Structure 1
């Protein structure tokens, strides 16, 4: 067990700066935003309202079923397990109050675009996953999606139900809206590789904000939808294999940023104005450096920013919140060679330049087993992020469709309408490769 090296902490911070810079290029409008990333359409969708139409394979029924996959070299899979997640603390929250209001205890100033910014300290006493027990919104970019399922526990803790879903076989979703601009729909192709727009995935129900007390309400109806709070499991079948030269800029006009990105972030962060990119008035950080605020997880990020940290063949996973600032977020950089590892390898140690023989653990506020990063998959994979209040863990996994481990057999490949608590515990116990 070794402490995360200073070298990789600096690398992670550089990664953060690069990620934000890339997104800003897409354009988000002024304070409160007109939406981000393209500003007019929703993830390839043509509809202007969300649809609850499903193909019959929805969360309340029999699940999604098996989806055809493209053949590729089977891999042993990989996991990164973040332990000791959650602690009492606080983050800055933007609220709807006028300048000079005494509620503006953290900031009474201006936002990125010169508008008024009122923020308060939002405290929590929760220890079970906080702040990731708050509402969270899924973000995807430059990925080819085939299936998506989101599970949460109900009143009966022994069972988790699929509450949101989407399947490329029908092109429809259930209890899901997707947007890259103002229009939202659950009907889209799943191909997010043709332009480098950021796409936001939320529940269908609208979020009630702008009450003048607790939440800021941007003029941005595209993202004013509920996220997912409490424990949650997100699993999707997707590919990151595509021709980089075929990716255009979000607003057109030539070569776009071709770095795949999957993130799971505090919903209030994207509602603070400009869809996360309002650097002077959002909940991301209370110190202005690492993301020691309301919570963001870069679940899978390929860094392509023309610097020493960039390498299109590897992916980073990092967890950020007030609990411990930046945890994980390692990069392999220009010194890493994909071909230096065996074809069946999924997760590698960027510091030691070796493949893991067992899935690494990263303790929030504690030790890490090396500097784990992912090899960018070739072909289809099941990608998973599981946030569990009971175990206080975040489990991130990449699983090849032809090498499904026994611990994931209740979930894959059928993606049923419900999972037992035993299945959740089995997923949390995985340390791939085994």
Structure 2
């Protein structure tokens, strides 16, 4: 299966997101309902890593996407009883045109939910957002730690039996876990954007709107060494292929792969992904063809504004010839990149980040609305740059805007 098509199908199987409402405080697009703003929570809990969980120190890597965002529209689901159905209507499916006028990180400034696919082991997961003024401090608004797995703060997990058992940090190959805020979203008649009524005990939640910084401490060992599989064999296109994705909350709350969604402007042409789309932040591609490379991430975002980023390395990235210190690979030479990669809607990064299979890394995902920047970083716990030392490893309850700026301008390996 083509890697784009596979990614699109995954988004629908995970059931992705967005919800239209008022102007976001940090310059986001007009949305009908941006959802509640999570409050600050306690922080300051540095990672507790055993030496056996650490591999040799690596140089880290960054990919920076600049000038992100575009005006346009995508179809937003409506209650068939209320409409309007001016984008698409068929067999109870009512989609309305959600028009976006801003170009400030749109539509990724809207309500987003994270999806994690294994094999993956997570030690910490944290989310920061501006406390008010985007030029002021940022608060820790959501967090989870494997030292107290039953006590998430401002987080909700769904999928892979986490609703009943809680999240223990281990996600087996082909297993999927959606991570969102703990704020309830009331599905049912009149909900906006619309999502079907939930059964007894079911819970749907908001994602994070506006500027946000996701921090995850994780490793992604090969499926053969992790267990906990959600598959029966190695023939599947997602086998041994971890993924960190961002999807609109609307799509996630809509439920499983169905015939009415914001993902494409015509639901029966979902493979086009020209609606609210999806952001494949860190995606290992396993299509059982020439695109397959189980050691390297591809990174791309797509939707109504088009395709941004680059596809998988395939055989172009020969990881076996690299030293363990390399986290960012120059695609043209299969060597360690000279410095952090920079991309835009008209230029791919030309580099790919390496999957950590034997040790932990910090994964950073910054979506900064005012600067129209998306910053991705992988950082070894024993090689945290001094410029972001106020954030890692301590994960404080609050950090200054200067630290966020340091994350945004970070260029690794050099």
Q: Quick one: which of 342, 353, 359 aligns to 1:361?
A: 342
State the secondary structure of the residue aligned to 1:313: strand
Paired residues for 1:263-278 under 5 Å: 263-274=245-256, 277-278=257-258
Q: Is 1:108 aligned to 2:95, yes or no?
A: no
Q: Unaligned 5+ residue runs, structure 2?
A: 16-38
Paired residues for 1:31-430 under 5 Å: 59-69=40-50, 70-98=53-81, 103-110=84-91, 116-142=92-118, 143-157=120-134, 158-171=136-149, 172-180=151-159, 184=163, 187-193=166-172, 195-212=173-190, 214-220=192-198, 222=202, 224-244=204-224, 247=227, 249-250=229-230, 253-254=232-233, 257-274=239-256, 277-278=257-258, 280-286=259-265, 288=269, 289-323=271-305, 325-364=306-345, 366-370=346-350, 372-378=351-357, 379-430=359-410
What's the offset of the Cα at 1:59? 4.8
Which segment drifts farther, 64-73 or 86-95? Answer: 64-73
Q: How many residues in Structure 1 have an aligned counterpart in Structure 2?
A: 377
Asked whether the 8 Å contact 1:133–1:231 carries over to 2, the reply is yes
> Which position in structure 2 is the counterpart of 1:5?
none
Q: Unaligned 5+ residue runs, structure 1?
A: 1-12, 29-57, 111-115
State the secondary structure of the residue aligned to 1:92: strand
CA deviations over 1:313-338 (Å, ceiling 9, x no partner) = 11111112322x12114211145321
State the secondary structure of the residue aligned to 1:123: strand
State the secondary structure of the residue aligned to 2:403: helix
Asked whether the 8 Å contact 2:69–2:372 carries over to 1, the reply is yes
Asked whether the 8 Å contact 1:173–1:186 carries over to 2, the reply is no
State the secondary structure of the residue aligned to 1:342: coil
Q: In 1, Cα distance between the equivalents of 2:217 and 2:205?
A: 24
TM-score (normalised: structure 1):
0.80
CA deviations over 1:398-430 (Å, ceiling 9, x no partner) = 000111112221110111111110000110001
Asked whether the 8 Å contact 2:128–2:213 carries over to 1, the reply is yes
State the secondary structure of the residue aligned to 2:170: coil
Q: In 2, Cα distance between the equivalents of 1:404 and 1:102?
A: 51
What's the offset of the Cα at 1:102? 6.5
Compute the RMSD of aligned alpha carbons. 2.6
CA deviations over 1:41-96 (Å, ceiling 9, x no partner) = xxxxxxxxxxxxxxxxx952233223215221111100111111122211011111
TM-score (normalised: structure 2):
0.83
Q: In 2, Cα distance between the equivalents of 1:167 and 1:411?
A: 16
